[in-house]
Amino acid sequence: MLDRFIARIAAELNLPAAKVSATARLLGESATVPFIARYRKEVTGSLDEVAITSIRDRLAQLTELEQRREAILKSLSERQLLSDVLKVAVEGADTLSALEDLYAPFRPKRRTRATIAKEAGLEPLADLLFNEQATIDPLAVAAPFVSLEKSVPDVAAALAGARDILAERFSEDIATRSRLRELYWESAQVRSKLMTGKEAEGAKFKDYFDWTEPVSKIPSHRMLAMRRGEEEGVLLVRITPPEESAIAILEGLFVQARGTPGAEQVRLAAVDSFKRLVGFAIEAEVRIESKKRADQEAIRVFSENLRELLLAPALGQKNVLALDPGFRTGCKTVVLDRQGKLLHHDVIYATAGGTHQVAQAGEKVRDFVTRFAIEAIAIGNGTASRETEQFIRSLHLPPSIPVVLVNESGASIYSASEVAREEFPSEDVTVRGSVSIGRRLMDPLAELVKLDPKSIGVGQYQHDVDPNALQRGLDDVVVSCVNRVGVELNTASKQLLSYVSGLGPSLAANIVSHRNEHGPFRSRKELLKVSRLGPKAFEQCAGFLRIHEAENPLDSSAVHPERYELVDAMASDLGCAVSDLVRDGGLRGKIRPEKYVTNEVGLPTLKDILDELAKPGRDPRQRFEVFAFQEGVEKLEHLQPGMKLPGIVTNVTAFGAFVDIGVHQDGLVHVSQLADRFVKDPAEVVKVGQKVRVTVTEVDLARKRIALSMKANPQIGVQREQRTAPNAPRSPQASGGRPPGRPPDRQAMRPATRPSIDPNAGGWNALADAFDQAKKQ
């Protein structure tokens, strides 16, 4: 079975079967994706994480298919329905759809019109109508089947019952389902209509009150939006092909002698089969598959955003003063040491209160800076953030101390979480939130892994997609990022450790307990003393764990302990110590990798080792750079169309990007405004956390909406009335409190079947409205 899987996966992914086979074997031995990608390059032929993950997921899908096959064979066998021919067909089915098509005629059914007709003894009549349709007289052959006792009062009832039997047969026919399935994906339209009397209740869905679009072209965001409207009882959504084409398929398969009375009975059965049975069955399949595709796209967008956020540059180990701004309640202020440990907390009134309170707040901040040797100041970017930033800068602290606004999305969720209560059992939520802000500046990855990714303000549609698929996708991203960066063994939280290859929550907790009881780890080998951490777990995790300033310099690098002897041999051949190899690039230059190639170690691994010796434990994230918003632009009222401002991308969606320009309200750069060229996917142009320069094109003070552009010469101050005039092109609006989709590609547009949409039409305020609602949920 596995060999069959490997051959199929290799063909589907266009990979050599040997690489797929080797990867499958490693996965079967419980090796993780990061471990295989990093430390088994010779085995897999240097497959990357994307390819390995694809192999893993496809193996799971094929295993699920095989389990379904076995269940079907067992069911058929137990009911004595499994003929040799059927068994061969079931064993040869290579997709779930093909498998279910084979099983459809034998699936246990509820009582249908066809079963009632069979109980009335009408199946022989159905056989006559179908097999002899060219020659029989339907009225004559149906007469003998009339029986009041069997509830067949007349010839018409007999023929109707026979047609019901034929209609069900046609609906279960493999060729019928296969050809209709093709027709749906080629020609079916997604149509949404307003449910009667739901105009006011469904105002947020108004652009979908009468919408038509090919199912093969519809973007994921629009499909999810329509489904949300349907779930809320506002929209009626159907996916239907051209009816005449669908019926023609059935007629072509089953009607043999057009124009004869017998053939007419078969034609009527075929029409009924499509309209009452198989049409709805295939529509249900297409709905499921289109939802699955929409989910995959939404998860992809979310995953890309999360990866950028997790791999944001880290300030590093610094003494940090962190403030969670506030007006009436003051600024919750904490002091953290270089390991992120809470040293002190207080509340200062820097943005409200009397002159005395503000002066006192300044004295406290100066005292904290001096007493705790503060090296950086972190300010949450929520309410009163710019005012607090202005206050801090007014203190004229040493210029070597950067003042950084930190995205605090999810900090309040962390502060009330079990994780926060465990870390700070005696502190209230305000202190915990401030600690989270400070730690995010020091190391975003280490802090954000404590949160559910769905709470940190990136992505879209997360409430509409399959939660299990979403969780799997996001977990893969977190695991990939954590292992790519590496984890400091002696300071990492158990939450961060739990994402390290081969560990998990239980072993991560055991590591922290061992560290608390026995003190810091002095070498990677000491991990083997941790309760329940055996050789296999050690193999998987050791290379991703770092020990800063360890006695063996390799313990602070990504060189795996299984290769320490090889590095020792390199040093011995040069007559030096391993530490000398790390310090002296000249010595490293004398190493000839080819000399150390073995059956297990090839040039890819040797290259990785030499790279690590050059920069042991290097952080793959970009270097941290202090960013500053435009001075004097702190509120919506300060904005004017035409202003060019620095900003930070906070989220990338299918319809554009949201950018923080420092006024407590993100602005929207619609996909049509991201560049001077056509942009299909916003992720091609911008990433979460990217520093950009934008132009303000419109400000709506009443609704607190900002339209931005990244074009060289954007159109400024377009009036909303012009954009939304009756004859103006429209952009789809939000659905169900979820962000709406971007306009479709021009090639996908069919003016005869749906409204015209101009990608430059805007509609940004409505889009921003929708996205804000989605974030609140």
Digit-coded pLDDT (tens) for 493-531: 999 999 999 999 999 999 999 999 999 999 999 999 999
Look at residue 314 and tell me whether its pLDDT is greater than 50.
yes
With contact defined as beta carbons under 8 Å apart, do 331 and 348 qualify? Answer: yes
Residue 98: half-sphere exposure toward Cβ, Cα within 13 Å: 11
Phi first, then psi: give them for residue 170, nearest 5 degrees: -60, -40
Report the candidate in 89, 85, 149, 81 with the shortest Cα–Cα distance to residue 121: 149
Q: Tell me, what's the pLDDT at 774? A: 47
The span from the CA of 484 to the CA of 55, in Å, is 20
With contact defined as beta carbons under 8 Å apart, do 293 and 227 qualify? Answer: no
- Compute and round to an integer the Cα radius of gyration of the chain: 33
Look at residue 736 and tell me whether its pLDDT is greater than 60.
no
The span from the CA of 765 to the CA of 591, in Å, is 61
Regarding beta strands 320-324 and 235-240, do their DSSP bridges make them parallel or antiparallel, or are they unpaired? unpaired
| Helices 155-172 + 261-272 axis angle, to 10 | 60
Beta-bridge partners for 379: 323, 405
CB environment 715-742: b (16+ within 10 A), e (fewer) = eeebebeebbeeeebbbbbbbbbbbbbb
Look at residue 86 and tell me whether its pLDDT is greater than 90.
yes
Residues 6 or more apart whose Cβ sits within 8 Å of residue 285 = 97, 181
Look at residue 135 and tell me whether its pLDDT is greater than 50.
yes
Q: Tell me, what's the pLDDT at 1? A: 65
Q: What is the pLDDT of the chain when averaged over all its residues?
A: 89
Q: DSSP letter at 234?
A: S
Residues 6 or more apart whose Cβ sits within 8 Å of residue 712 = 676
Q: DSSP letter at 354?
A: -
Taken in order 509, 513, 516, 522, the sign of the CA dihedral is negative
Per residue in 446-475, pLDDT (tens digit) is 999 998 888 887 777 777 888 889 999 999
**Residue 46: count of CB within 10 angstroms of its CB:** 15
The span from the CA of 671 to the CA of 743, in Å, is 9
Question: Which of the given ranges, 597-611, 718-732, 758-772, has the highest pLDDT on average?
Answer: 597-611
**What residue type is assigned to position 473 of the chain?**
G
The span from the CA of 490 to the CA of 631, in Å, is 41
Residue 571: enclosing H or E segment and its boundaries? helix 564-573
DSSP secondary structure of 502-569: T--HHHHHHHHHHHHHH-S-SSGGGGGGSTT--HHHHHHHGGGEE-TT-SSGGGGSS--GGGHHHHHH
Task: Name the 3-class secondary structure at 398.
Answer: coil
Residue with tokens 């007014």: 394
Residue 767: half-sphere exposure toward Cβ, Cα within 13 Å: 30
Q: Tell me, what's the pLDDT at 202? A: 87
Burial class from Cβ neighbours inside 10 Å (0-12, 13-18, 19+) for residue 649 reads: buried
**Residue 516: count of CB within 10 angstroms of its CB:** 8
Per residue in 393-448, pLDDT (tens digit) is 999 999 999 999 999 888 888 898 999 999 999 999 999 999 999 999 999 999 99
Burial class from Cβ neighbours inside 10 Å (0-12, 13-18, 19+) for residue 77 reads: exposed
- Polymer length of the chain: 777
pLDDT band at 110 (very low <50, low <70, confident <90, very high): confident
| Cα 538 to the center of its chain, rounded Å | 30
Tell me the helices (H) and strands (E) count for the chain, helix number first: 32, 15
Look at residue 718 and tell me whether its pLDDT is greater than 60.
no
Task: Name the 3-class secondary structure at 2.
Answer: helix
With contact defined as beta carbons under 8 Å apart, do 53 and 33 qualify? Answer: yes
| ∠ CA 581-583-585, rounded to 5° | 70
For residue 284, CA distances in Å to 69, 238, 278 come to 21, 10, 10
Beta-bridge partners for 237: 192
Residue 661: half-sphere exposure toward Cβ, Cα within 13 Å: 31
Look at residue 739 and tell me whether its pLDDT is greater than 60.
no
Look at residue 768 and tell me whether its pLDDT is greater than 60.
no
pLDDT band at 188 (very low <50, low <70, confident <90, very high): very high
Regarding beta strands 705-709 and 667-670, do their DSSP bridges make them parallel or antiparallel, or are they unpaired? parallel
Phi first, then psi: give them for residue 136, nearest 5 degrees: -80, 160
| Helices 279-310 + 220-231 axis angle, to 10 | 120
Higher local confidence (pLDDT), 212 or 747: 212
Q: Tell me, what's the pLDDT at 353? A: 67
The span from the CA of 765 to the CA of 337, in Å, is 43
Mean pLDDT (whole number) for 237-244? 97
The span from the CA of 194 to the CA of 582, in Å, is 69
CB environment 433-470: b (16+ within 10 A), e (fewer) = bbbbbbbbbbbbbbbbbbbebbbbbbbbbbebbbeeeb
Range with lowest mean pLDDT among 174-188, 266-280, 297-311, 715-729: 715-729
For residue 588, CA distances in Å to 561, 593, 611 come to 19, 10, 10
Residue with tokens 């158990």: 494
With contact defined as beta carbons under 8 Å apart, do 730 and 763 qualify? Answer: yes
Per residue in 600-612, pLDDT (tens digit) is 899 999 999 999 9
